[in-house]
Structure formats: C-alpha cells, structure tokens
Amino acid sequence: MLYKFYQQRVFPHLLNQVMQTPSLMQGRAELLSKVRGDVLEIGFGTGLNLPFYQEVEQIYALEPNRDVYDLAKKRVLEAPFHVQHIQASAEKLPFADNSVDSIVSTWTLCSIAELDKALQEIHRVLKPNGILHLIEHVQYQDNKLLKKLQDVLTPVQKVIADGCHLNRNIELELLNANFKFSEKYYFDAEDLPKVGRRMFMARAQKVEMTV
Ligand SMILES: C[S@@+](CC[C@H](N)C(=O)[O-])C[C@H]1O[C@@H](n2cnc3c(N)ncnc32)[C@H](O)[C@@H]1O
C-alpha cells in the first residue's frame, strides 16, 4: 500500500523533476531539432520534449502510466501542434505496419519490461524511410567497475524508478532488432550520478528483412 502511494503520488513528481536536469534538457534540444512529420513518442512521460519540437505535424503521446501523463497535461495544452494521448505499452503498438514517419524515445527504452518485443513493434510501425530518434542512459562498456555496479544496482533501481534498468546495452539491442544507424554517439552527463551518466544518442532506420 505504501509502495502504491509512492508509485502513484510521489514517483511521477520525482520523475518530472529529475528529467529536467540541465544536461538532459540539452540532449532533448539536440535530438528533437531534427524530428519531422507525424511523431510517435514512446514513454511520453510528463511532456518535457514538447517545447523542443520544431517541424512536427502531430504527436502521438504513448504513455501507459496515467499518473505520469496527468503531469503532462498543462504542457500538452500549451503545445502549438496537436498531441494525442495513447494509453498503451510499447510492446503492443496500436498502429498499422509502416505508418509512422518518426519515433522518439528519450530515456524510455531503459524502462520497457519486454524490450525485444517493443523494438519489434517499433520496427513494424516505422515507415521504411522513417527514423527512430533516441537518447538513452546505458551500461558502460569501457569501465568494468561501473559496469558491474550498474548490474548490482539495477534490481534496486527497478523498484524505486518504475522498472528502469541501469545496465542495458541499447546500441546492441537495436542492432539485434535489425536497425542501422545514420548517426550515433556516446557522452557522459556530468550533472548525474556516475551509474546513470553514460548516454547514447542515435538516429536509426530499419533494415528491411527479406524472406
Ligand atoms: C524515465 S521515464 C522518461 C519519460 C520521458 N520520455 C522523458 O524523456 O522525460 C520512462 C517512461 O517510460 C514509460 N514506460 C514504462 N514502460 C513502458 C512501456 N512498456 N511502454 C511505453 N512506455 C513505458 C514510463 O511510464 C515513463 O513515462
């Protein structure tokens, strides 16, 4: 019961604050300046990306957590384009095959319970020339100690941060899910604790599968 109270009444506000850390806001600005057309945002959260979109037609705001989306409503009303909330999970996207121009994920792939299913779904709904734009915190590959610490802390992090994994290798997950990169790089967000500091920013397109 106490945990439910934490999840519904406390966590959404913590999320809204932490996700406004300056380096994250800078990351949003850079990632979203190149997003075009109809956009499906996976794990819309509290709507912090909205001010950074420049040339979008409309946003499908996929957010399964109603308590989190409630904190986005004011930002949604202020947006200069149409935002449609979709209460669904990335593991089952309510979109037709090859139908979406742009898919955006900002620090969401860490939290999806069945990431391989979600990536299959993203692959299915993205147009052949569509782009998946993403920025995620990831596991260190060049620091054994921090990598191990991320493994050890992930079970705790999942409880306090709504399923968030500190130890995902998102680049590898995307390659395994048949995406190719047109742009990718890593950087460290110096204003965050070391265990969650390594960031992966990328733009990816789907590799068409031949049968
Ligand atoms: C760390 S927050 C990031 C929120 C937002 N993208 C941002 O940049 O501020 C992760 C978000 O993913 C959402 N989420 C968790 N599991 C999900 C799933 N299976 N499908 C879609 N979104 C999910 C959470 O509800 C939460 O809003």
> Tell me, what CATH number does 191's domain have?
3.40.50.150
Q: How many Å lie between the centroid of ligand 1 and the Cα of residue 63?
A: 7
Whether 13 is covered by a domain: the verdict is: yes
Query: What average pLDDT does the segment 154-170 reach?
Result: 97
Model pLDDT for residues 8-55, shown as the tens digit of each residue: 999 999 999 999 999 999 999 999 999 999 999 999 999 999 999 998
Is the beta carbon of 157 within 6 A of some atom in ligand 1? Answer: no
Q: Is residue 104 a part of any domain in this protein?
A: yes
Residue 88 inside a domain? The answer is yes
**211 found inside a domain:** no
Q: Does residue 92 lie in a domain region?
A: yes
Residue 114 lies in a domain: yes
Task: Give 64 Cα–ligand 1 centroid separation in angstroms.
Answer: 8
Angle at 159 between CA 61 and CA 28, to 5 degrees: 35
pLDDT (tens digit per residue) in 54-70: 989 999 999 999 999 99
In a domain, 14, yes or no: yes
Neighbours of 116 (CB within 10 A): 12
Domain range for 193: 2-206
Q: In this structure, is residue 57 part of a structural domain?
A: yes
Taking residues 89-101, report their average pLDDT. Answer: 98
Instruction: Assign 154 a pLDDT band (cuts: 50, 70, 90).
Output: very high
Are 69 and 63 in contact by the 8 Å Cβ rule? The answer is yes
Ligand 1 pocket, residue 111 CB under 6 Å: yes
Q: How many domains does the chain have?
A: 1
Is there a contact between 93 and 43 (Cβ–Cβ < 8 Å)? no
Mean pLDDT of 116-129: 98
Integer CA distances (angstroms), 165 to 125, 150, 151, 202, 207, in order: 25, 8, 9, 19, 26
| Distance in angstroms (rounded) separating the CA atoms of residues 38 and 195 | 34
